[in-house]
Structure 1
Amino acid sequence: MKKIFIAIGALTMFACQETPKKDYVTLSGKITDQNSDSIIIRSRKYSKTIKVNADGTFSDTLKVEAGLYNFYDGGESSTIFLKNGYDLNMSLDTKAFDETIAYTGEGSENNNFLAEKSLTEEKLLDQDFSSMDLETLDATFKNIETELTTFYNSKQGLDSIITTSASKSLSPMLEGNKKYYANNIILKQEMTGKPSPVFVDYANADGSTTSLESLKGKYVYIDVWATWCAPCKAEIPALKALEKEYHDKNITFVSVSVDDDRTHGGSWDKAKADWLAMVTEEKLGGVQVMSPEGWQSDFVRDYKVNGIPRFILIDPAGNIVDPSAPRPSDSKLKELFTSLSI
């Protein structure tokens, strides 16, 4: 009887022991219309590439510090929260990337919040701020801050890393956006309708030179960009499609590269070589020119370009229609073209 008692006691002790928490994340999922054969999970201190199968499925384990990471599928990216012990499954369709990201499994609550947060912020910030006056802009951003704060506070049970990050980043994010649009409003007030600053004999990718004056007689849509600028490169497909659609219209498309030696190993020759290589590799159309002094060129400084991409629209007489025009991917650009009978 004693032996049986001891055995039962030992069994009871074993049964009461807590199952060890796994010290890694299991991440799996399926991507519809995948952009690449792999995805990347990364932060400043961590990076891991995960293979995506031909049917869009993927699965791997990651040993991480609890925190926010960037999920990149080769075309777009999203924020994901990872913590060792999670068994997380995600699904998305690249044709509606942000709108279709969804999570199941352990850790899904935190990550579904991040997906909803991204959509909510995007919706609230998708307004025609540049057409407002400064007073209306300020009031609009105060309302956005109130709405987002209410949204964040309505979610309970989230990891403190997420709630702390959302709270800390809100004001800087909104202030950065408001400052950008305030500068646009002031820029439009100061420059719209006035003669455009010009560039003279900028090096053309075909070996010739181009001056802005030589393009008078048509509208000119200018893209100020650089080969190292991710948002600039994200606009390339839309810009190429736009150039094709308006090829026979009363408009010329010009891309002005501000690549310089500072971002190309201290060498202007390398900056130019990298620019020419991308023009060739991406089969960029329109007029491709390079600003001879990068950001410091008079044309760039006269337009007060302090962030790229920047898009500029000039009329056939050489006057400024919009010193900070909509991007190629923005439907408002075609609406503007239509209003001008382009």
Structure 2
Amino acid sequence: MKKVIYFLSIVLLITSCKKDEPKEYVTLSGKILNQNSDSLVVRSRVYSKTIKVNADGTFSDTLKVATGVYNFFDGAESASIYLKNGFELVVSLDTKQFDESISFTGEGAEVNNYLAARSLMQEGVFENDSLFKVEKPIFDEKIAGIKESFHALLNKTQNLDSLFIADEQKGIDGFTQYIASMYEEKQYLNTVLAKGNVSPKFTDYENFKGGTTSLDDLKGKYVYVDVWATWCGPCKREIPFLKEVEKAYHGKNIEFVSISIDQAKDHEAWKQMVAEKELGGIQLFADNDWKSQFVTDYKINGIPRFILIDPQGNIVTPDAPRPSSDDLKVLFDELKI
């Protein structure tokens, strides 16, 4: 009898140890209301896993991952999700209120609910443009308050890994620094590049059709400038819309100028794309890509960027609507172009 009890004790001990062993995968399940797709994608720069979503919005799968933050994509929108082998996450989501509704339960819920709350807070910073219109001392006070609120959210969240906390603290610093740089840029746009000020100029840019072109050559007409590059996906997506706008305003008091800031090594790629895509308007190649004086004077840090200049060479707007936006036609109509 003692031998039987001893044997059973050993079995129970082994079983208990196995139960305590961490799982080498993540269990991810949940339900999506108003789903955008029949699948989800969990991905990073080096990992991708597609998860089937049933007709009723439910899903369940296992993922073997390296610990870290991943992108959780439902076919239309995405969120950040923190995964670690051993987590058993249950996701709840209504895509009609994606960021507001996403929530997590189960093992690993705390860190992921934190990420969801942090994302909402970040969006809230950008919802009210008044932040970027206040005087510098008031802005600095508001930024300090924003930084404090992010730290408060992080500090009150339980069961966070120390490395995750350290990364988040760096992220908070980076985010507030980014907001500060946006403020400086907007102040520059609203002062140095304010409506009515003389526009920065470009001089003797190579013209695809031959010769060179300067901004002063175009005085007497409005000039709609598109700063782009052949490698820029969003720039290329605007091309069909730009062609439509050019066609609609052909013969009007406006010139459409596209300035490529491709590097010198991509000069031939620029010429080839202009020819193959039959790009219209005035196609120019900047003299020094991102370092071109016109680009730096307009504080262009991302493309595509659109600028509108009046017939006298003065700024109408240093950040004009894109060709794909209905606001562009409204602006042109207001100016009676």
Taking structure 1 as the reference length, what is the TM-score of the superposition?
0.71
What is the number of residues matched between the two proteins? Answer: 327
Question: What letter is aligned with 1:179?
Answer: S
Partner of 1:191 in structure 2? 193
Q: Say which one has the larger Rg.
A: 2
Residue 102 of structure 1 deviates from its aligned partner by 3.3
Q: 2:25–2:87: 8 Å Cα contact kept in structure 1?
A: yes
Mapped pair 1:156 → 2:158:
yes
Structure 1 residues 141 and 341 mapped into 2: Cα distance closer, same or farther (>3 Å)?
A: farther
* Pick aligned residue for 2:171 from 165, 169, 172: 169
Q: 1:254 to 1:92 in 2, by over 3 A?
A: farther
CA deviation map 1:306-333 (0-9, x unaligned): 44444434345431133345778999x6
Q: Cα offset for 1:168?
A: 1.8
Question: Does the 8 Å CA contact 1:68/1:82 hold for their aligned counterparts?
Answer: yes
Give SS of 2:27's match. strand
**Aligned pairs (5 A) from 1:33-72:** 33-34=36-37, 39-43=41-45, 46-50=46-50, 60-72=61-73
Match of 1:314 in 2: 309
Query: Which residue, out of 11, 26, 35, partners 1:32?
Result: 35
Q: 1:319 to 1:154 in 2, by over 3 A?
A: same
In structure 1, what residue type is equivalent to 2:289? G
Alignment match, 1:110: 111
Match for residue 296 of structure 2 among 280, 290, 301: 301
Q: TM-score, normalised by structure 2?
A: 0.72
Give the structure 2 partner of residue 146 of structure 1: 148
| 1:177–1:254 distance in 2 versus 1, CA, 3 Å | farther
- The 8 Å contact of residues 121 and 148 in structure 1, kept in 2 or not, is answered as no
- The answer on whether the counterparts of 1:133 and 1:185 sit within 8 Å (CA) in structure 2 is no
Aligned counterparts of 1:294 and 1:136: Cα–Cα separation in 2: 36
State the one-letter code of the partner of 2:85: N
**Mapped contact 2:256–2:282 kept (Cα < 8 A):** yes
* Aligned equivalent of 1:101: 102
Question: Partner residue of 2:269?
Answer: 270
CA 1:181–1:49 in 2, change beyond 3 Å: closer, same or farther? same
Structure 1 residues 13 and 130: alpha-carbon distance in aligned structure 2, compared to 1, 3 A threshold: closer
Counterpart among 227, 240, 249 of residue 224 in structure 1: 227
Alpha-carbon contact 2:26-2:84 (below 8 Å) kept: yes
Task: Please say if residues 26 and 62 of structure 1, whose CA atoms lie closer than 8 Å, have aligned partners that are also in contact.
Answer: yes
Name the CA distance, whole Å, in 2 between partners of 1:236 and 1:94. Answer: 26
Following superposition, the deviation at residue 41 of structure 1 comes to: 0.8
The code of the aligned residue for 1:142 comes to A
Equivalent-residue separation in structure 1 for 2:53 and 2:281 (angstroms):
37
Give percent identity, aligned residues only: 41
Q: Distance in 2 between matches of 1:251 and 1:147?
A: 48
Q: CA deviation at 1:10?
A: 3.9
Letter matched to residue 297 of structure 2:
D
Structure 1: state its 5+ residue gaps. none
Task: Quote the offset at 1:148 in angstroms.
Answer: 1.9
* Secondary structure of 1:139's aligned partner: helix
